[in-house]
Amino acid sequence: MAYQIDTYLKDFSSYIESAGVTSFYAEMLTVFINAFIFILLLAFLDKLLKKIIVEVFKVFSNKTKTSFDDFLILTNFPRYVGHIIPLAIFKWFFVELLDNYPTTLYWLLKVFDLYVILLILKIIRSLLRTSRDYFQTKEQFHDKPLQSYLQVTMLFLWGIGVFFFILEIFDQNAMDFVLQLGAASAVILLIFKDTILGFVASIQVSINDIVRIGDWITFSKYGADGTVTEINLATVKVQNWDMTYTTIPTYSLISDSFQNWRGMQESSGRRIKRAVYIKQNSVKFLTEDDLKELKRIQLVAPYIEHMEKEVVRSNRRHEVDQSIAINGLNQTNLGVFRKYIDAYLYENPAINKDLFLMVRHLPPTSQGIPIEVFCFSNDKRWENYEHIQADIFDHIIAAVPFFNLEIFEEPSSKDITSFLTQQQDLKG
């Protein structure tokens, strides 16, 4: 074949010389014309092969059950593979065509080798992207930072690619270049500090299961409060509840403190922890008439009746002087109110009774006595959770006056005006 091409080129050059062109220019024209024609034919062959290979892949992927080959098509793997045959023909032909031009052939082969390195990197990148997209369709890999692993691998491969690029361009010996590179390692580490930190952090995040894609996190330092949508080598992307996006350096997930709500999302309930503040001067001992009136409240009536018996039994045992309410054991409106809230929560179908439930009395403050509700809703969805919480405290606030209690509230300008008016009326 090589002999036939050589014969063809000589005949072509002789034909041009017969038209009156000198042998030097005839040889040059022979090279340029044949190179141009061959490149056109090669470009056509390249497009044809790519189209054939892509169609074959499509037919094959339609007949297989796995979706891996579908992702190969989407990442242009068949197109990259289609370049291999034309490249092999290209090298073979130009070696024969430029046999008499060693310098030109030398640089052409150097460019060819560089392109081959680039093509290999593209094929490997296509396979890695295909693997990432395929594994993201699997439930067990859905929340893994596959993008980070892809970026780390591609960074390593591009580093190897640049290494071979430099060796090819400067005709360097691999071992000599590695030794020179070692001397500059400190500078390289400084340049790629963030990348190295991100790489280490992404591995720790994955191994320790600190954050997954889909987790709700709150990171006050960066103003992030929403769902993690992407974890890559350098950053974690969070879509906030106001539909904005916040990017967080990956290594910050290791070095700083943040809140991950996954535990709540995976549990069987969402915590409600809120208090109402009762005026301290509205708390009092209950008289018989008060108790009789409060027994009409069905949820708390059994408790009042039970405590009445306990009060009578205790006071008789200790021969208490009951002419003064402070002596002995007596019920208070605040204590009955707490038991009412407790009974109300146990009757509420929106509250998970299997989880911790408590109504507690916190230390008094300048705003009053906090009565805190601590329980868990059955529905963890934010909107429904807020509705459940609001309904509970709407009811509690509305129930306060039935126990002759008052909720503390800072006085408004209207309250002050009303007070001053009353004082003036009293003086008048």
**Residue where a domain stops, chosen among 223, 241, 266:** 266
Total residue count of the chain as it appears in this document: 428
pLDDT of res. 378: 92
- Residues 32-45: pLDDT tens digits? 666 677 778 777 87
How large is the average pLDDT for residues 62-90? 75
**Is residue 353 assigned to a domain?**
yes
pLDDT for residue 180: 55
- Do 134 and 90 have their domain in common? yes
Each residue's pLDDT tens digit, 172-191: 665 655 555 555 556 666 66
The string of pLDDT tens digits covering residues 252-281 is 888 888 999 888 877 888 999 999 999 999
At residue 234, does pLDDT exceed 90?
Answer: no
Q: How many CB atoms lie within 10 A of CB 219?
A: 20
Q: Are residues 332 and 306 in the same domain?
A: yes
At residue 54, φ and ψ (nearest 5 deg) are: -60, -45
pLDDT (tens digit per residue) in 307-339? 999 988 988 888 888 788 888 889 999 999 999
Question: Residues 307, 374: one domain?
Answer: yes
278 and 409 within one domain: yes
Residue at 29 is within a domain: yes
Residue 377 predicted with pLDDT over 90: yes
Specify whether 289 is located in the same domain as 395. yes
Give the residue among 177, 371, 400 at the shortest CA–CA distance from 273. 371
Same domain, 243 and 277: no
Within a domain: 241 = yes
- What three-state secondary structure class fits 368? strand
pLDDT tens per residue across span 109-119: 787 878 888 88
What is the predicted pLDDT for the residue at 186?
60
pLDDT band at 371 (very low <50, low <70, confident <90, very high): very high
Nearest to 166 by CA among 149, 151, 180, 148: 180
Same domain as 136, residue 20: yes
Please spell the DSSP secondary structure of 47-69, one letter per residue: HHHHHHHHHHHHHHHHH-S-SHH
Number of domains in the chain: 3
- Specify the CATH number for the domain of residue 242: 2.30.30.60
pLDDT at 102 over 90: no
Three-state secondary-structure class, residue 203: helix
Q: Is residue 422 part of a domain?
A: no
The predicted model gives 84-89 an average pLDDT of 78
Q: What is the mean pLDDT of residues 121-147?
A: 76
Beta bridge partners of 372: 275, 360
Final residue belonging to a domain, choices 266, 291, 325: 266
In this prediction, residues 231-238 reach a mean pLDDT of 84
Using DSSP bridges, classify how beta strands 224-231 and 270-278 pair: parallel, antiparallel or unpaired: unpaired
For residue 3, the model assigns a pLDDT of 47
Residues 245 and 306 in one domain: no
Residues 220 and 282 in one domain: no
pLDDT at residue 406 in the model = 94
Q: 110 φ, ψ to 5°?
A: -65, -45
Instruction: Find the distance separating the first CA and the last CA of the chain, reported in whole Å.
Output: 126
Closest CA to 285 of 332, 339, 334: 332
Residue 171 pLDDT exceeds 80? no
pTM beyond 0.75 = no
Please compute Rg for the chain using Cα positions. Answer: 41
**Average pLDDT over all residues of the chain:** 80
* Same domain as 321, residue 384: yes
**The domain boundary residue, chosen from 122, 142, 162:** 142
Q: Is residue 154 part of a domain?
A: no
CATH code where residue 345 lies: 3.30.70.100
Segment 139-158, tens digit of pLDDT: 777 666 676 677 667 777 77
Q: What is the pLDDT of residue 298?
A: 94
**Assigned domain for 244 exists:** yes
Give DSSP secondary structure letters for 239-283.
EETTS-EEEEETTHHHHS--EETHHHHHSS-EEEEEEEEE-GGG-
Let me know: does 310 contact 266? Beta carbons within 8 Å.
no
What pLDDT is attached to residue 2? 46
For 68, the domain range is 2-142
Average pLDDT, stretch 221-237? 87
Asked whether 196 and 156 are in contact (CB, 8 A), the reply is no
**Residue 149, domain member (yes or no):** no
- Verify that 65 and 39 share a domain, yes or no: yes
Identify whether residues 252 and 274 lie together within a single domain. Answer: no
Q: Is residue 59 domain-resident?
A: yes
Q: What was the pLDDT predicted at 132?
A: 79
